[in-house]
Structure 1
Amino acid sequence: MIFATGKHALITGGGTGIGAGAARALAAAGAKVSLLGRRREPLEAVAAETGGLAIVCDVTDPDAQARAFAEAREAFGPLDIVILNAGIGDSRPFLRTGRDSWNAIIATNLTALFDGAQLALPDLQAPGKRLIIVASVAGLKGGAMAAPYVASKHGAVGLTRSLALEFARTGLTVNAICPSFVDTPMVDDSAARIANATGKGIDEARQLLARANGNGRLITVDEVTHAILQLCHPDAGGVNGACVTIDGGTSA
């Protein structure tokens, strides 16, 4: 489906998982893609596949993120689609959660969204432009053993809804993608933490996470990517402030 020819899409966390999947899908739809992330090797691999630009950037550093956005504009021109996807997770009892862990999760999952949105919005206030924030079903309900992550994702959903309303009359749409457990490196990390805490094997830990989804399996990157493409399509101009859940029925 070619609908983004000539458009410039910038994706944070673009080297792996959902970000890499979105980059491949948008490139196939005709877009020029700028990929931001911390690790050069996976970024360059996805850039080689997509004809995109790899920019090494820690989104928790506001100056680095500003330089990355400037480099992307210099290469491919003004932004048309921005997907703020970079994120981290953790899981531990609240009373054993240190301030350092809280700060790291909020910095990556929420404050970096604030910075990224402020950097992107000067380009995006026009019909057909898209800002998509990758949040989580954890942003729509509570969750034990993951208070900082859940709080950060609630903030991501609140930011999405507020920006959608504030900029609605410009023609920009702002939407959130809210997946549950997706078969990505982040879930691999979660399974490793479960295995380490419980003595279970990695496969058994992954199965526990899969059973937490309504359909009893992990969501695929392609399923999330499909939802992102739908929101980016020109016919999706009336979808604004939505939180698209992809969870196999967990939140039904």
Structure 2
Amino acid sequence: MSRSVLITGAGSGIGAACARRLASQGWQVTLVGRRQAALEQVALATDGLVLAGDAADSATWPGFIAQVRERFGGLDAVIACAGGHGLGRAGDIDDAAWREALRSNLDSAFHTARACLPLLRERRGSLVLLGSIASLAAGPEVCGYTTAKHALVGLTRSLARDYGPDGVRVNCVCPGWVRTPMADQEMQALMSHYQEDLEAAYQRVSADVPLRRAASSDEIAAVCQFLVGNDASIVTGAVITADGGATVVDVPTLAYTRLASQP
């Protein structure tokens, strides 16, 4: 029997890469996202079931789950990639921006998990939540994003603790910079300020990362593929960093690294 996976945020970036990778391995793919046209493009390459709607809206899920059950009979895995921004310092964010940061990054994962858990319990399936290195550390002026991504780690651990006895595994993947359309957009400020191209901007944000580069979407999809597969059968409640080594850097010692590199 073919395995079935549902992916949110599947229209582009990491979500689309997960869909393509798993479909190539014989998985039946359900594609969830807000942009119908983008999902349909991914569906052409994956023969996926397109479900256009907002993963953060609980009202969308009963209909989605009914369609998944009718088409595929159930779910073996869920990869929750839907997310968004959350810019600004705490003192500068208005109520609407704060709620949207939590909604797009945390509520989307919670409603996805809650709706899909009955199907995952039936097949002793696996759930992967897409966090970020912002789940572990704080960048400048991204209070909403950082708070929501930190909360995803707590959600991961709570789900793993509560549903492990049912055979459901839950893990969180925390990428660093990944070359996606959203990250490309974030590079625009650097490109404009330094009058440089996209490649130079990515090199700039990766200058102190041990591997000296951003990840590709497919590299993160490969981590997700491992976590939903049988080879990760004992892995649950884990927070897997996939950041090129960014979070192992001792920031106060960077001055010595730069000193050593000078003639």
CA contact (8 A) 2:86 2:100 kept: no
| Separation in 1, partners of 2:132, 2:85 | 11
How big is the shift at 1:25? 1.0
| Separation in 1, partners of 2:188, 2:65 | 34
Output the amino acid matched with 1:251.
T
Output the amino acid matched with 1:143.
G
Partner of 1:232: 228
Partner of 1:87: 83
Partner of 1:12: 8
Give TM-score scaled by structure 1 length: 0.91
| Separation in 2, partners of 1:202, 1:191 | 9
How big is the shift at 1:136? 0.8
CA contact (8 A) 1:175 1:240 kept: yes
| Separation in 2, partners of 1:72, 1:47 | 15
Task: Evaluate the alpha carbon distance shift between residue 170 and residue 185 of structure 1 in structure 2; reply closer, same or farther with a 3 A threshold.
Answer: same
SS of the equivalent of 1:167 reads: helix
| Per-residue Cα deviation, 1:198-241 (whole angstroms, up to 9, x for no partner) | 46445244333333643221111121111111111112110010
Output the amino acid matched with 2:150.
H
Output the amino acid matched with 1:51.
D
SS of the equivalent of 1:211 reads: coil
Range 68-77 or range 36-45, more displaced: 68-77
Partner of 2:19: 23
| Separation in 2, partners of 1:86, 1:194 | 25
Partner of 1:118: 114
Output the amino acid matched with 2:217.
V
| Separation in 1, partners of 2:110, 2:117 | 11
Task: Evaluate the alpha carbon distance shift between residue 122 and residue 188 of structure 1 in structure 2; reply closer, same or farther with a 3 A threshold.
Answer: same
Partner of 1:164: 160
| Separation in 2, partners of 1:28, 1:53 | 15
Range 90-99 or range 238-247, more displaced: 90-99
Q: What are the equivalent positions in structure 2 for 1:1-252 lying under 5 Å apart?
A: 6-125=2-121, 128-195=124-191, 198=193, 200-201=195-196, 203=198, 204-211=200-207, 213-252=209-248
SS of the equivalent of 1:187 reads: helix
Report the identity percentage: 36
| Separation in 2, partners of 1:193, 1:170 | 47
SS of the equivalent of 2:60 reads: helix
Range 154-163 or range 200-209, more displaced: 200-209
SS of the equivalent of 2:234 reads: coil
| Separation in 1, partners of 2:208, 2:169 | 31
Q: Which has the larger radius of gyration?
A: 2
Output the amino acid matched with 2:164.
A
CA contact (8 A) 1:11 1:83 kept: yes
CA contact (8 A) 2:32 2:52 kept: yes
CA contact (8 A) 1:34 1:53 kept: yes
SS of the equivalent of 2:16 reads: helix
CA contact (8 A) 2:13 2:217 kept: yes
Structure 2: segments with no counterpart, 5+ residues:
249-263
Q: After the TM superposition, which segments of 4 or more aligned residues of structure 1 sit over 6 Å from their partners?
A: none
Range 88-97 or range 24-33, more displaced: 88-97
Give TM-score scaled by structure 2 length: 0.87
| Separation in 2, partners of 1:182, 1:124 | 28
Output the amino acid matched with 1:209.
V
CA contact (8 A) 1:109 1:152 kept: yes
